[in-house]
Chain A
Amino acid sequence: MTFSSQDATARPLRVGIVGGGPGGLFTAWRIEQLASARFAITIFEASHRLGGKVLTPSFTTAAARYEAGAAEFYDYSPVGDDPLRGLVRSLGLATVPLTGAAVIVGGRRIANLDDAGAVLGQDGREGLLAFDAWARSAMTTREFYDSGSDHAATAAPDGRFDAALAATCRLPARSYVEAMIHSDLATEPATTTAGYGLQNYLMNDPAYMRLYRIAGGNEQLVTAIATRLAARIRLGTTVTRIAGVPRAPLTVGWRDGDAVREEEFDVVILALPVGPLSQVVITDTALRTSLARHVAHHDHPAHYLRVTLLIDRPVRGVPGGDDYLMLDAFGGTCLYVESSRDPTATHGVLGLLIGGAAAAELAGETDDVLAAAAVEALPPGLGIGRREVLEARVHRWNGAVSAAPGGWVPLPVDRRHRPSPAHPNLFVVGDYLFDSTLNGVLDSAEHVAGWVAADLAGDPDGVQPQQNHA
């Protein structure tokens, strides 16, 4: 029996989506595209805005925008089909490529092999070349593209990334590699798999993928989708419980101010990060157990911290015409010069993306302390001290993404998205189910939307949607 076989012909299928971040919006969008006339979708969002980690706010001191969450999108089109690129294009959003080759190690810049030879010495240069050759042989472009899917297979070792690094990348090249990938990894080499670490190294090779952003702010993506949705959107509503027995509609209970309300849905999709997912009260014992098992399997939090500084004058672009560079401060930090490509900018905007253990440790500090630490970490040649900083914004993304610890084996894609076989009408969607990126969350949303639509169409096996990319 499928969830749609009860009386779906009599009325639209009621779909409740918990979470108004990219996962919830992408899922609603895809379901509406597949069969809008037969669905009645409701999106519950605890905050008062949609978009979650895709956030492009402005400073109050000056009209300057900055990326507070996802700073860039991954472009897989050099290797294969890229659904996110297609979505951005179909929404008519202009994109801008993002480049960055320089890594600062010990106060010196390494932007190419010539720099590597000068800074790390001939041994360091050879070590880097040897590691690069090993990395590319361990994971081809196609394997990189397919990582996260059921048929993913690579020659990368199964264990921890730190062990793989120690075996294949000798010092001082290792310091360079660690600084280069740390902020993207959002965790430490000791707490992630060799495969995940390799992905974060290989993403710097244009043959594997490229980076881009949306002109005018990444938040335009979620705004463009939200304005096109026919779904009912309930902002400021915190879902507190989900009730229901196996193979029956589920009741979603939520808090709206002081009031507690309930509504019945044929399908419920939980589009939440792992942390909030564990806080939803589930009344059915079997479902509660399944969801707890799902959370336990995926609960490997990785952390980001973004400190963005508004500077009292325009800041010169990154040397080399790049958009960002990597600093070795905080174990490896990405410095974005967000104002570099705006010739009309009257102010400079510098964003520091701190990841991993440093982000978790610093998250408890006050904004002032973090702003001061960020200024200290800036390259001296920039000539920016505390006096030049007009305003600082801090965004803490603790546990916002998922690290894949050494030895961790992902579940089959279907199991990831439907944690309880006894409850075929409850799905989960999230970036943590793939690679903790926006591309991953779109893959997740497409999988579930395709599943829901296929089931409604009466396919007893629940036609599995094409796995586009993970």
Chain B
Amino acid sequence: MISPDSVTTTGPIVIPDHRPVSVPFGLPADAVCVSRSLPTGEHVEVLSVPLEETAAPWPPATDGGPGGLEDTIRRWVSALASPAATVVVVPLYGCHVAWTAGRAAVIGPPERLGQLEAAVVEFAGVEADLRDAERRAAALLDTVEGDVATSLSLDEHSPDRCAELADRHRRAVAVGRRLALLAPLVHTPPLHPPTLASQLGERLRERTRLVERLEFATQRAEFAERVAEACGQRALEAGIARRQLGLEWAIVVLLVVQTALLVVELLSHRATP
């Protein structure tokens, strides 16, 4: 059986299915909203709003104010976000993207919406994968203090914890492996000359601080792995020591028995005239 820790993202995100979602009120009739599933099992709702763009160097900002199109999509995206969640708004060249975990909205020329959507879904897949790995890396740290304490005060139960610590170590390694597989996707070098999709990917990665988050999660996983490995080693040593002690006692008993037999034999020889 494949454990949840083994879920990895190793290549281009495959979008297995999508289903339509109702478009929020107040948007143009040709706006489309679909829900797409991500490799982690999560879904992301993507709202696409086609808008003609003229490649003007400095497009007018009239629709960015309260009640404007940009404001409407930002509010729609924010509605799903928890208070602690990040809502990222990226004004791109002739396009506008708002994103939070689970929801994204894209405004842009009709002929570019497809690639913008694909870039958002690809990013959402990487981000969801990283978020899940972050959660698992954080959970690993919850047990660290208890493990360290018991590893330094060994008792008769310490060897029994070997299996538990081995499982902890295995999970830390699994998180580390998953983060290592994510690293190339997070550190994707900027494309040159850029495409609109590559620029959007770069902006989203930058604004959601994926590089720093990956680094922190990797540090946590490595730390948890080191602790689990060290504690497991101590528990293993305790187990070996306990087995050695038993063996030593067996030898002592054998020696005592042997000595006793020898004494009995000597006494019996003496008693014989």
Q: Using CB atoms and an 8 Å cutoff, list the residues of chain A in contact with chain B.
A: 101-102, 104, 107-116, 118-119, 128-129, 132, 204-207, 316, 319-321, 325, 327, 379-382
Q: Mark contacts of B192-210 with chain A using CB atoms, 8 A cut-off: 1 yes-contact digit, 0 otherwise.
A: 1111101100010000000
Q: How far is the CA of A207 from the CA of B193 in the complex (A)?
A: 11
> Can you name the residue of chain B whose Cβ is closest to the Cβ of A382?
B58
Given A111-B93, A327-B57, 6 additional A-B pairs, CB 8 A: A113-B195, A118-B55, A206-B192, A319-B92, A321-B90, A321-B92
Q: How far is the CA of A20 from the CA of B75 in the complex (A)?
A: 55
A-facing residues in B23-76 (Cβ within 8 Å) = 55-61
B194 x A320 contact (CB < 8 A): no
Q: How far is the CA of A119 from the CA of B115 in the complex (A)?
A: 18
A320 x B92 contact (CB < 8 A): yes
Residue B20 interfacial (CB < 8 Å)? no
Q: How far is the CA of A379 from the CA of B199 in the complex (A)?
A: 22
A-facing residues in B169-207 (Cβ within 8 Å) = 189-190, 192-196, 198-199, 203
Shortest Cβ distance from A36 into chain B, in angstroms? 38
B55 x A115 contact (CB < 8 A): yes
Shortest Cβ distance from B198 into chain A, in angstroms? 8
Question: Which residues on the B side are within 8 Å of A132 (C-beta)?
Answer: 192-193
A379 x B57 contact (CB < 8 A): yes
4 shortest A-B CB distances, which residue pairs?
A381-B58, A111-B93, A379-B57, A205-B192
Chain A binding surface SS class: mixed
Question: Which residues on the B side are within 8 Å of A325 (C-beta)?
Answer: 57
Shortest Cβ distance from B64 into chain A, in angstroms? 9
Shortest Cβ distance from A99 into chain B, in angstroms? 9
Q: How far is the CA of A102 from the CA of B91 in the complex (A)?
A: 14
- Partner of B93 from the list A102, A205, A207, A380 (CB cut-off 8 Å) is A102
Q: Using CB atoms and an 8 Å cutoff, list the residues of chain B in contact with chain A.
A: 55-61, 90-94, 112, 115, 189-190, 192-196, 198-199, 203
B57 x A319 contact (CB < 8 A): yes
Known: A128-B193, A129-B193, A132-B193. A380 touches B58 (CB 8 A): yes
> Can you name the residue of chain B whose Cβ is closest to the Cβ of A103?
B57
Q: How far is the CA of A122 from the CA of B237 in the complex (A)?
A: 70
Known: A319-B94, A320-B92. A114 touches B195 (CB 8 A): yes
- Partner of B58 from the list A128, A129, A379 (CB cut-off 8 Å) is A379
> Can you name the residue of chain B whose Cβ is closest to the Cβ of A131?
B193
Question: Which residues on the A side are within 8 Å of B203 (C-beta)?
Answer: 321
15 A-B pairs in the complex with CB atoms less than 8 angstroms apart: A104-B57, A109-B57, A112-B193, A112-B199, A113-B195, A204-B192, A206-B189, A207-B190, A319-B59, A319-B91, A319-B94, A320-B199, A321-B90, A321-B91, A321-B92
Shortest Cβ distance from B11 into chain A, in angstroms? 23
A108 x B58 contact (CB < 8 A): no
Q: How far is the CA of A316 from the CA of B91 in the complex (A)?
A: 11
> Can you name the residue of chain B whose Cβ is closest to the Cβ of A380?
B58
